[in-house]
Chain A
Amino acid sequence: MNLQDKKRVLREMVLGRRFEERCYQAYMERKIGGFLHLYPGQEACVNGVMEAARPGQDYVITGYRDHVHAIKCGADPKEVMAELYAKETGSSKGRGGSMHIFDVKHHFMGGYALVGGPFPLATGIAKAIQMKGGDEIAICFLGDAANNQGTFHETMNMAKLWNLPVLFVCENNQYGIGTVIHRSTAVLDQFKRVCGYGIEAAQCDGQDFDVVYEHAKTAVSHVRDRKGPYFLELMTYRYRGHSMSDSRSYRTREEEEMWKQRDPIFILRDRLVDAGAMTMDEFAALEKEIDGYIENEVIRFADESPEPDVADLEKYVLA
């Protein structure tokens, strides 16, 4: 990956960040309803993994913290925002909401709200890939706390048993809502938990794009070369609360500050600046340009789009 590529990635990470921050504002303005789980702090995870994979071709599935994953796969930010605004032009036509972004044409197979639900779904997608003989892979992004579900264990066993082309990415932000990992989970290193199933696994820093990317390359080629499933644990942190009604009383401001020192966007930015590929002014201009795009195109589209027609309430229940 050359510096030009990395600049593009930085741009996508900033877009992911500013998109989410704008969602926060829109939620406060009551433009967005329901549950809203934001991604700031974790941007290097989806970007590092997907840069090593093939966005739009490989099949991606995740939980409810799904906006940035969808956009990384190719979903139009306008349609994602319109979904959050519950509009007919939204990616799920206003029927899904924040936790259920889908963009099947870009092989983004959805956001699901039951913790642990996507494990077997991803593996079934891998089964279908295996049957059809393509060289795509299935990638399942979930959190650390999801590994305490039965579906985790059931799925790891089947994925290995049938040697299915699925990559499990564990974004370990160390919390399941307000419960810190050591209060819910006996073994803290999540990648060790799949050893019992004979699955290849690794753990790495999830804040540094380059580190994620390097580890993801190994993981993706393992799966793409049909050597079996792979489990990649990324050590990361979410800067905001779990969802919007979260006072963050379960963690200290010092801890948050420590992780903010390792902001994935700044890590990549500084590296590009040090390499002479970018100036701080350029970065400031980039942020400004992205904010302008979000305001003038993304928000505007969502705002001006029509809501679904109530007469269509029962559409999409059955074929």
Chain B
Amino acid sequence: MAEMMYWEAILRAHDEEMARDPLVICMGEDIGVAGGTYKATKGLHEKYGPLRVIDTPISENGYTGLGIGASFLGVRPIIEIMSVNFAWLATDQIVNTAAKVRYMSGGQLAAPVVIRSPGGTAHQLGAQHSARMEKVFMGIAGLRVVTPSNPKQAYGLLKSAVRSDDPVFINEHELMYNMKGEVPDGEYFHPLEGSEVTRVGQDVTLFGYNISVHWCLKAADILAKQHGISAEVVDLYALSPLDRAGIRKSVAKTHRAVIAEEDEAPVGVGAEVIAIINEECFFELDAAPVRVHAANVPIPYNHKLEKAAIPDHEDVVRAVLRLFGKA
């Protein structure tokens, strides 16, 4: 097990997959000569050349569609969209083509593309550079959505996504590229479905994904040390399909659930997880499940306002304490 940064893990997955299969290519803005906004494709241009490591024009819908078209003939494009804010422009090709072509062709054609893009709020980037889009993509049939919370997942999910015959959207995070973590030395394929119990607990389940897993872990620590509450943390690295069995299993054990999401609440991950809890294990509940989520506002520039808009581990702690009647 070597320790590496999140971006290095993504780079390693690119490199291994491109070395293995000449039909694996990567494309996006500034990913080649410039090495990638978050360095996730650093050095690949020199190694694999401009035909396979493609610096694209600023044409998100266009180059995403081009990648999808190439995938029809067996090419495996890894498309980097610089920021999810710009992925809105590519939703046409992602949703209307990639997600639907297998179905509407009666299984004749598929679009096995990988689309990677960082979402989330970083540091005062303002309303148009702070979007979170996972809830948009997880609602689309025919699309897989995964979101790594650590370097191991970042590596293993990308490896699996490249090998998958389905289109996969990988939701990364601007604040996480420099996060360090252990990554297996040998090849590792993280499953594209399921969830992970990151911390075992008895009294309440904290559901998180991507950055909010870290809020949950920190909150679980505080809850254990300061409040005597044993929290289980479940990492929903797969947002579509969501792991119904994993959600049921943990809630059936703890009887309480808090879902932490960086996104606004409406039509979001929390809403979906709560619906699944209702459908799967309503009678296991000792309390109504709770969402910890962003304020329903365009993300403000002002630092204090931005902080107030986005939840963190303290919000998770408060939500749990309220659930136990302690706040």
Listed in ascending order, the chain A residues whose CB lies under 8 Å from chain B are 59, 61, 90-97, 100, 102-105, 109-110, 112-114, 117, 119-132, 138, 150-151, 154-155, 157-158, 161-162, 315-319
Contacts and interface: CB of A to CB of B under 8 A. Distances in A.
Contacts of B51: 130-131
Contacts of A128: 69-75
Contacts of B97: 112, 114, 117, 121
Interface in B93-117: 93, 96-97, 101-110
B75 A161 contact: no
B73 A123 contact: no
A114 B92 contact: yes
B144 interface: yes
B142 interface: yes
A53 B170 CA distance: 39
Contacts of B127: none
B182 interface: no
B62 A158 contact: yes
A120 B61 contact: yes
Contact of B75 (A131, A157, A316): A131
Contacts of A109: 72, 109
Interface residues of B, number: 44
A109 B75 CA distance: 15
Given A121-B65, A121-B97, A154 B59 contact: yes
Interface string B155-184: 000000000111000000000000000000
A158 B108 contact: no
A125 B59 contact: no
Contacts of A90: 106
A114 B69 CA distance: 15
Interface string B38-64: 000000000000011010110101111
B66 A92 contact: no
Contacts of A131: 22-23, 25, 51-52, 70, 75
B93 to A, nearest CB: 7
A318 B108 contact: no
Interface of B: 22-23, 25, 51-52, 54, 56-57, 59, 61-75, 92-93, 96-97, 101-110, 141-142, 144, 164-166
A108 B73 CA distance: 12
B102 to A, nearest CB: 5
A105 B106 CA distance: 13
Contacts of A127: 66, 69-70, 75
A110 B105 contact: yes
Nearest to A61: B69
Given A100-B104, A128-B72, A319-B164, 8 more contacts: A117-B97, A121-B72, A121-B93, A124-B65, A124-B67, A127-B66, A315-B107, A316-B107
A124 B61 CA distance: 12
Contacts of A316: 102-103, 105-107
A92 B108 contact: yes
B61 A154 contact: yes
A315 B70 CA distance: 24
Contact of A150 (B54, B61, B64): B61
B104 A124 contact: no
Given A120-B66, A128-B75, A158-B62, A92 B96 contact: no
A316 B106 CA distance: 6
A151 B103 CA distance: 23
Contact of B66 (A97, A102, A123, A129): A123
A90 B144 CA distance: 27
Contact of B103 (A61, A126, A162, A317): A317
Task: Name the 3 nearest CB pairs between A and B, nearest first.
Answer: A124-B69, A154-B62, A120-B65
A62 to B, nearest CB: 13
Nearest to A121: B69
Given A110-B101, A158-B59, A319-B165, A124 B106 contact: no
Nearest to A97: B104
Contacts of A129: 73
Given A96-B106, A102-B109, A161-B57, A151 B62 contact: yes
Nearest to B27: A127
B106 A102 contact: yes
Nearest to B241: A318
12 contacts: A59-B73, A91-B106, A92-B108, A94-B106, A102-B106, A110-B101, A117-B65, A117-B92, A120-B69, A121-B97, A124-B72, A132-B73
A122 B166 contact: no
Contacts of B104: 92, 95-97, 100, 102, 110
A124 B70 contact: yes
A122 B93 CA distance: 13
A319 B98 CA distance: 13
A26 to B, nearest CB: 20
Contacts of B22: 131
Contacts of B68: 120-121, 124
A318 B193 CA distance: 13
